[in-house]
Structure 1
């Protein structure tokens, strides 16, 4: 009878389901393989970070800013300076709080204050670099870039000096480990920023 289901009907149903499933899976795989703008920008950051001394830290600190960076080397350098500045400020504030806490020796407090002063200088230099980075265009590109490189290098020197102040037996225990780790992170971020700035300079060389 026309329209009735014979013995082959179940096989047809199974076949149609398999076709639908295969087509759906294929479309999903194509969609997943198609690069999106976000993925492209994230890969740009990953590739750019390979030129830095601490590529894993570079990527972890900047991947969340992919939409702001896009695929721009200049914005990449700008955002790297920004995270260095923010981290330096938060580390300095933390150290001031710890220095005013109880249980610190006079020598330890002195080392903390010296380090805070070094970080303060680094913050000022990073801020100047960010300000100049926003104006990085035109015929005086090379002059402005040279200023930025000088200031960021000086900031890195200040941070390294701060780190060295916690060497030896100036401070012991967990506090020393935590503080030194925080300062090293700032220094490593600044080092990465300098590497990205140097890469940007090379593109215009």
Structure 2
């Protein structure tokens, strides 16, 4: 009895490798299209570079869907705001805070917690949005995200002025500014999705 034909196995291997290679090649343009879609969409936001870097890693999920892009942007803003909320709580318990710093931190903790709630509500609504009640639900989402952005601004207002200086001010403002920028970008992409759907 003869053994397996080596030419048969070589041919099968070539066919297998060709199919894997062509399959990988077919996937690349899709990701490329998605990344280009994200880049183009982000160009309409206030912070396009941050928008692209924060969302390009989600290209496989987003594909070229305005809805999934808006959802991803909202999710990124929510996750960053949750993390920042935990940091603000920890900083508020720091030793050696002046009375004004302590008051500003208490206000900031409250504002960022409100922002988390508003973004969480927006995310829940976004996952359930349907054509039949699109305008009503989208209006709620836009209102909540706008309110979250206002809360971020209110937090940083507490650390304005020359009397508030030093590491605490720079730490708080640095973190809140990034969260506000991500939230602003999310709102712009949500507005873009709304106009696409309605258009």
TM-score band by shorter chain is: 0.7 to 0.9
Please report the RMSD computed on the Cα atoms of aligned residues, expressed in angstroms: 1.7
Query: Which residue of the other structure, out of 105, 111, 125, is the alignment partner of 2:104?
Result: 111
Residue 136 of structure 1 is matched in structure 2 by: 129
Shift of 1:171: 2.6
Runs of 4+ residues over 3 Å off in structure 1: none
Residue 75 of structure 1 is matched in structure 2 by: 68
Distance 1:108 1:164 in 2: 12
Shift of 1:35: 5.1
Give 1 or 2 for the bigger CA radius of gyration: 1
TM-score normalized with structure 1 length? 0.80
Residue 196 of structure 1 is matched in structure 2 by: 189
Confirm whether residue 63 of structure 1 aligns to residue 56 of structure 2: yes
Distance 1:134 1:170 in 2: 44
Gapped regions of structure 1 (runs ≥ 5): 1-30
Name the count of aligned residue pairs: 174
Distance 1:73 1:54 in 2: 18
Distance 1:170 1:196 in 2: 37
Gapped regions of structure 2 (runs ≥ 5): 1-23
* SS at 2:182 equivalent: helix
Query: Which residue of the other structure, out of 24, 32, 40, is the alignment partner of 1:47?
Result: 40
Shift of 1:109: 1.3
Is the contact made by 1:107 and 1:170 (CA closer than 8 Å) also made in structure 2?
no
Distance 1:145 1:75 in 2: 14
Shift of 1:65: 1.0
Residue 159 of structure 1 is matched in structure 2 by: 152
The Cα offsets for residues 25-52 of structure 1, whole Å up to 9 and x where unpaired, read as: xxxxxx99x9522222111111110110
TM-score normalized with structure 2 length? 0.83
Shift of 1:55: 0.4
Distance 2:139 2:82 in 1: 24
- The structure in which a higher percent of residues are helix is 2
Is the contact made by 1:111 and 1:170 (CA closer than 8 Å) also made in structure 2?
no
Distance 2:58 2:102 in 1: 36
The Cα offsets for residues 91-135 of structure 1, whole Å up to 9 and x where unpaired, read as: 111111112122211211110110110111111110110011011
Residue 177 of structure 2 is matched in structure 1 by: 184
Distance 1:69 1:169 in 2: 44
Confirm whether residue 171 of structure 1 aligns to residue 168 of structure 2: no
